[in-house]
Amino acid sequence: MVQPARQTRVLRLNDMEKLERTLFRLEQGYELQFRLGPTLQGKQVRVHTNYPAEGEKFDRLKYRPLDWVNPTGKEDDSDKFCKLDLKVAGSYQYYFGCGEDEQVGSGYIVVNPVLRVGGDNRPLPLDCINIQTYLSKCLGPLDEWLERLQVAKETGYNMIHFTPLQQLGLSRSCYSLADQLELNPEFSPPGKNYTWGDVGNLVEKLKKEWDMVCITDVVYNHTAANSKWIRLHPECGYNLVNSPHLKPAWVLDRALWHLSCDVTDGKYAEKGLPALLSKDEHLNVLRGILWEEVYPKVKLWEFFQVNVDKAVEQFKKLLQSGSGPAMSDSEGRKQLKVVQDPQYRRFGNTVDMNSALETFQPHGDSPLAIQECCDLFKNRLEEMNLEQYKEVHYHAEQATNCIVGNIVYERLAEHGPKLGAVTRKDPLVTRYFTFPFEDVSFSQEVQMMSNADKACHFLAHNGWVMGDDPLRNFAEAGSLVYMRRELVCWGDSVKLRYGEKPEDCPYLWAHMKKYTEITAKHFAGVRLDNCHSTPLHVAEYLLESARRVRPDLYVVAELFTGSEELDNIFVTRLAITSLIREAMSAGDSHEEGRLVYRYGGEPVGSFVQPSLRPLVPAIAHAMFLDVTHDNECPILIRSEYDSLPSSAIVSMACCATGSTRGYDEMVPHQISVVKEERFYSRWNPGAKRSCPGEVNLQSGIMAGKLALNKLHQELAAKGFSQVYVDQVDEDMVAVTRHCSSSHQSVVAVSRTAFKNPKTHHYSDEVPPMFIPGKIEEVVFEARTVARTAGAYARDDQSINGLPNYTVEIKEHIQLADSKIVKIADITAKGASEFVQEILFENLTPGSVIVFRVSLDPDSQAMVGALRRHLIQFSPLYKAGSVEDNNTPDILAKPLKDIMSKLTLADMNMLLFRCDAEEKEDGGGCYDIPSWLPLKYGGLQGLMSVLAEVRPKNDLGHPFCDNLRQGDWMLDFITNRLLKKGGSLGEVGKWIKAMFGYLTHIPRYLVPCYFDAIIVGAYTTAVDGIFQQMSDFVQNGSTLVKQLALGSVQMCGVGSYLALPPLSPNLTDVPYRLNDVTGKEEQCCVSMAAGLPHFSSGIFRCWGRDTFIALRGLMLVTGRHLEARNIILAFAGTLRYGLIPNLLGQGVGARYNCRDAVWWWLQCVQDYCTLVPQGESILMCPVSRIYPTDASEPQPAGAYDQPLCDLIQEAMQRHMQGVEFREVNAGPQIDRNMSDEGFNVEAKVDSETGFVYGGNRFNCGTWMDKMGESDKARNKGVPATPRDGSAVEIVGLCKSTLRWLVQLHKRGLFPHAEVTIQKEGRNVSVSYAEWNQKVQEHFEKLFFVSQDPQDPNEKRPDLVHKRGIYKDSFGASSPWCDYQLRPNFTIAMVVAPELFTVEKAWEALDVTEKKLLGPLGIKTLDPDDMVYCGVYDNDMDNDNYNLAKGFNYHQGPEWLWPVGYFLRAKLYFAKKLGQETYDQTVYLVKNVLSRHYVHLERSSWKGLPELTNENGQYCPFSCESQAWSISTILEVLHDL
């Protein structure tokens, strides 16, 4: 049996990333990996989490470090991770730090609980949940619960939500609890005394026998005003002793109560304010009374004012005693400070006398001066008191508006409760505070405020504040909600005051903890009532205690924050499993359908996601309800006919769904959580419609709801996780749920009735529907119909619904038997898509029809067979797979076996080749109309787009459109490979056979299966590539492997051979048959310099680029034979002692560069060193194209020499002195070069041993930009001639000399010296002597010392940076020698013996600070006057330094020298001790991490030639450059 792959999610950590407001949801059994983002790679990062270690209990405050795992060793941090095996539900925090910082980032993860039902304890998936809410007090005695709860069972619900089962307060509200620990005594009939244990037994019975989960509310925010324990522990609420800031609000509240009593008693009737307020004039009179009588009486401003006389007296005494201000932190900002009295007494505010003495200073010590100063002080205090008066006046205006607004809603508004006349039971406004004493006069009450024994019992009520910040506690100091009368108050409940920690209110925390533990013991989950107003730290603490009792606690809540980000704070901190969402919030069917799409599922035809993938932010899991139990009745807002279709839309959502008891029975009013005292109806299958206390499936929409609930659970259990919502017309919504393995669909068509069909005209014309596939059955069709049963009469004993409506339902019928469908025609839409057109005749408002749809049998067989073949790539495809009796022969073999015959050159063709390479073959890359051509003709071109499209399921992308609309892309891929024949042709046949299935399945499925085939083929190919490479690559990190793919990307064989032929006497040379000539020809792999600009024709191969890149791309990756062939092919082109730069197949070569021969010699050395028996290459035959400088090109084999002789010739020619004029000099070979530039020179200085050459008219090193602009007058002028001795050439020469000396000693190189003609005689110079000369002179002449008096420094006037190495020595423009460039780091790597460790380190430090960029390295010191970091080759203006890209090497940040810089840092750091080395490794890893990110994101899957300054994208750069990839790979090899 194929085991499903373990689900792993990867969370990348980035410096300073705080993700507390981001929701990450995971399932139990998942593995979570923390990996380092680019900002942290190389750093010593420590990850801590409070997720408990195996076998330990969770403690929110206990964090533990996680251990890092590096599966591939230590070369970089791209694969390093630490992990959590998630087995325990809950919310867990992680944080991470590095270096000195304990915390540089953090976040939360939420692990979902697993709910279980049945005697066998099987899991109940969250998306299977169908919940129904019951008001517990309406269930009657516990003995009668089962027959009332049976209604939920018989209508298909699997979860019951009970409102609190505790003893209720005086108001009888379900949420006002008198005692959190006591079971409601009403549940015990006479003679019985039921306990929590009995409730627990009932819950267990429902779970085991009915497969039903039970949850209940926890109410943490308030308790009933008449709770006995709050009288004994008034410190648990907000009272006037522990919260004196509430005193002004309390005084106003009492004044309003007395005003209300006076209105009740008719005292204001003569003024025009009767007890029954019924019109606007009454409200205007009320406003007048508030302003003229109430506010002047309560004088609230006095609570915020200063006693002026007392303050002035105190100030005067200080002045008289000569006191001055103490040291202050006001820094000269003189401002008088008033301190609010913490006890909030009238005129209790005081003045900060230090600020007074600072602000008011007398002109002298005389009594007059002091008096004048006191008068000024007094005036300012009176002004400040006036300001306080105005501010309180502004608050009073708000209070007035809130009071009047509240009265309008409660007594006048049509949609309000219409309370009627003002009475003591229904006062003018709800009281904000308890007053548990006998009524006394207002003035006597005010005196009670200062009596702590009484004031502690004036407790603030709870409520909610419109638009308030849910993270702010509106009862704490600093909030004016109570004084401004902004609280929508629940007068039956007291707001609880927890403080910050259990020690702040021990009784309350202990009481609520016990309450929580009782709940968690007996119930599988809780609903957090009033969650958004519950202090987070309190809920966190209490839910933690609940999870200790029940680890898999299911938590639901309804949040009213108005913001997903704020919702996430609650969800992540409290591990809320599901957030309650409500269909009633939708104003029309379109919005209702949008909510279905929003709350769950993925699009139909979604891509298969890999089991290891990034952890992405989620939205909270939804519990989508028809209506919640505390909201308006839908029948009153919409119509009776809408209950069924809206419920059907909800049921089709891919999340938890549900309703409240009463909805299905069509109870035509809200069942009030406060006022309802009747009991729910019992279940009785034989109930008569005239019997209000009993219900069955004929009652209301219950038969329809049973069918919907069964369907909802089936869809979730069987993996119908894909969702499509179609708004057919303004009232008609079709929701499709699709299974990604069986490709079965269920389509529910609902015709809503938001407006009553009796009063609103609905069209008889219903649009037809087109359903792709074959309709297997009508799962059910149902219509809401009126029936004769007499009018609705509210029953006194039972909560009863409308008797005169029921649902007509038929289940599991054939289309032909449908009463709703008139005709169903089958039409073919293309060769592979069958669509059924449905015409409706009885889809009346209030109707629902649900179709079960399969693919047509042929498509179903094709998909099953395709899935069978895909199992070789992933076990996910086992589901829904079937045997294929007509399997094409090519598919009988695993693809791995077919691909094992491919060479790496074949892999270049299979995966890569850019447009220019493809065009050489007469093709091109696939171009998607109205979008873009793909980057490659091979599979990588497809993968780059799919990698963008797949994670987002972006099925609307033009790429997916192209796949759906036709087979053009499929044909392109297969024809391209079939044309090649051979092993590639076999792969083409396999792909063609697989694509054959795609052409016979519905087009909407093509993108996801195309992706599956391409991903399978690509990963198989990539695995095959690595198997042909070195151990370093095979065992390497992801970064190593991605870079190693660059070797395949750059190295291939085109139609036209880029390399000159090798000697026929050489063994192991690949041959092929030429299609045109029919003859055999060599087909050696050549290396492109860069994509796309240097990939084909004569511009593909360059000597310098090839040999800078060869070590990394070919030797380090293990492609030794191909490397040998390239070395020998170029060796055959040796002429004048040089290797050409532009190869031109050898016969069109240009010998205009001084460095290519030295890079070639370095590669021969590297080949001998890195390849087993590598020195054998020295005796390999080389076919010379030019046996002499003047000879015509010779055919292969005409003139062979061993490689060692060519090495000797190159060395000897340099010592003799190379001097010639290029063949065909003039505009025909270079239209920009001036005449002198065609003169090439390369010699050795006899004193220093340095190679030198070039002139100011040519540029013979890699910095080879020739001016092209007539406008700027730089045409024919090299930007960087670098004539004289270029530092890297000196280094490469020294490396070769050292190597040749060693080779000769070992008897592997026949020459110990070079012999030249000098003044008519032979002069010999030994390699040892030459080597020694370079060694002795290098640092003397190249290092720019810190000593201004350094005797070796010939031009101190040109020095502008010290502690560096010169870029050249002896340049025709001497200042060029002193420019800071990164080239000396190359010499450091190839010939480190030339450098003193301390000096080298100093120079590297300057380079790092001045030149190192994010991806590349600046080619010139930014302090240089000609520096410019932005390269624009198109711009032609009169700027000499910039026109036509003249600054190519004068600042832009090239990537390949970074490799040498980092390698040099690592080499010399090792010499300086472990600490320096560790710091360097950090730097290296950090730089490499940026290359890794670029590789991951690049659609070219390569590293660019260069970037503009500070890593900005340069549109003129090659997108992928061979030497960039190579040198970075070499760094990893060094690590």
Residues labelled catalytic:
529, 532, 630
> Phi and psi of 527, rounded to 5°?
-105, 125
Pairing of strands 798-799, 1051-1052: unpaired
- Our CA angle for 959, 960, 964, nearest 5°, is 120
CA 1042/CA 1110 separation, integer angstroms: 17
Secondary structure E strands in 1327-1384: 1343-1344, 1364-1365, 1368-1369
Burial class (CB in 10 A: 0-12, 13-18, 19+), 1186: buried
CA 795/CA 1520 separation, integer angstroms: 80
- Give Rg (Cα) of the chain: 43
Neighbours of 616 (CB within 10 A): 12
Buried b (16+ CB within 10 A) or exposed e, 931-962: eeebbbbbbbbbbbbbeebbeebbbebebbeb
Q: Tokens 């003709």: give the residue.
A: 937
CA 701/CA 323 separation, integer angstroms: 85
Burial class (CB in 10 A: 0-12, 13-18, 19+), 279: exposed
CB-based contacts of 557-566 (< 8 A; 24+ apart in sequence):
557/527, 557/528, 557/531, 558/527, 558/531, 558/628, 559/470, 559/531, 559/532, 560/464, 560/470, 560/532, 561/470, 561/532, 562/467, 564/619, 565/21, 566/21, 566/470, 566/471
Q: What is the DSSP letter of 1097?
A: G
Contact 276, 421 (CB under 8 A): yes
Neighbours of 1389 (CB within 10 A): 22
CA 595/CA 239 separation, integer angstroms: 43
Instruction: Tell me the one-letter amino acid at 344.
Output: Y
Instruction: Tell me the one-letter amino acid at 890.
Output: I
N-to-C CA span, the chain: 42
CA 681/CA 140 separation, integer angstroms: 10
Give the largest CA-CA distance in the chain.
138
Neighbours of 738 (CB within 10 A): 27
Name the helix (H) or strand (E) containing 64: strand 64-65
CB-based contacts of 436-445 (< 8 A; 24+ apart in sequence):
436/231, 442/254, 442/255, 442/258, 442/297, 445/254
Instruction: Tell me the one-letter amino acid at 1099.
Output: F
Neighbours of 194 (CB within 10 A): 18
Q: Tokens 């620990």: give the residue.
A: 181
Pairing of strands 159-162, 621-625: unpaired
Question: What are the Cα distances from residue 768, in Å, to 733, 784, 824, 852, 1220?
Answer: 12, 21, 10, 17, 85
* 1108 dihedral zone (left: phi>0; alpha: psi -120 to 50; beta): alpha
CA 1104/CA 40 separation, integer angstroms: 35
